[in-house]
Structure 1
């Protein structure tokens, strides 16, 4: 099981993609296939560096970087639809699922994600664990994305738990920075591709 920092935590806050669900390969495939329609390069190392950024922010950044004018809503909708098609091939991250099973019913859980609510709900539903989460904080539920602490602070507020009493499960650098900025303890979830 994934080792946790010491402390008495009153809530667990989980990133979704790459933390609960090993869905990053499916996300990357959906991005590549969608962006190919516009001839837009999105190297895999940049994709992982930008993990946790909302989809709309990524499209805007790629447009700026490549001097393109990809239509935001169209790209987001096509990428989302392709991800949904690929989602059944994603699996759960065992070390994290064990903590969810172990602590469910004892302390509240939230998902804090840069993905859309639709993608998060579909991912958790695919694993049969959607009902275990008291709160979902997704793209559109906050003004400033990770590495800003706002998404994690919003989840703590919705759960009614002080930030210092929350433990964050996160796989991405932006998320680890956001947790630290929120004053929360965090455990890094190693990516299967890194293992």
Structure 2
């Protein structure tokens, strides 16, 4: 059984959701895709590092791994391969129940946005796999902002596109980086548990 999320006192004019690990329980699938794609280049990617870097764009992760391990993996090529491997696993994708509950309860009452460090293609594919894509007015994805989380820019951009004051937005996030970004944007936030933090 899942615990319902405890939301801060509202009312809120909009909900902003991270995608991976927040709406969709996709982090374990993303990790498998990373391990396979990077394994082809003899690159190590410990699971702890993967979760610590949750929220970073794909190309940034590959660049950081290149630096750390003295590798010269072709960034775009490896990014593309990783996304392909992830798409192959989409039929296994599940939603995060306590977040889906909020989406279904509030849909149609206030506007929603997705604010993600993943590519637009990846976010659309994940939301489509769960039949949720039509519930979001706005998607803000990697490549559409200059500074990623923990910088507030992605969340401020989403509020602006929705035409809502940042302080009237509530953010749902599973990473510390995302919570920091929300706080920096002047928004209240709810922390969604990571897979290993959830009661079994």
TM range (shorter): over 0.9
Q: Of 87, 96, 100, which aligns to 2:99?
A: 96
Aligned twin of 1:142: 145
Point out where structure 1 has 5 or more consecutive residues left out of the alignment: none
Q: Of 102, 110, 131, which aligns to 2:134?
A: 131
Q: Of 66, 80, 85, which aligns to 2:83?
A: 80
Point out where structure 2 has 5 or more consecutive residues left out of the alignment: none
Q: Which runs of 4+ in 1 moved over 2 A?
A: none
Looking at structure 2, the residues matched to 103 and 70 of structure 1 have their Cα atoms a distance apart, in angstroms, of 44
Shift of 1:193: 2.1
Aligned twin of 1:182: 185
Shift of 1:192: 2.7
Is 1:117 matched with 2:104? no
Looking at structure 2, the residues matched to 161 and 97 of structure 1 have their Cα atoms a distance apart, in angstroms, of 22
Deviations, residues 118-154 of structure 1 (Å, cap 9, x unaligned): 0100000011010000000000110110000000000
Q: Give the TM-score normalised by the residue count of structure 1.
A: 0.99
The alignment of Structure 1 onto Structure 2 pairs a total of residues equal to 195
Aligned twin of 1:165: 168
Aligned twin of 1:19: 22
Root-mean-square deviation (CA), in Å?
0.6
> Secondary structure of the equivalent of 2:89?
helix
Looking at structure 1, the residues matched to 196 and 86 of structure 2 have their Cα atoms a distance apart, in angstroms, of 19
Q: Give the TM-score normalised by the residue count of structure 2.
A: 0.96
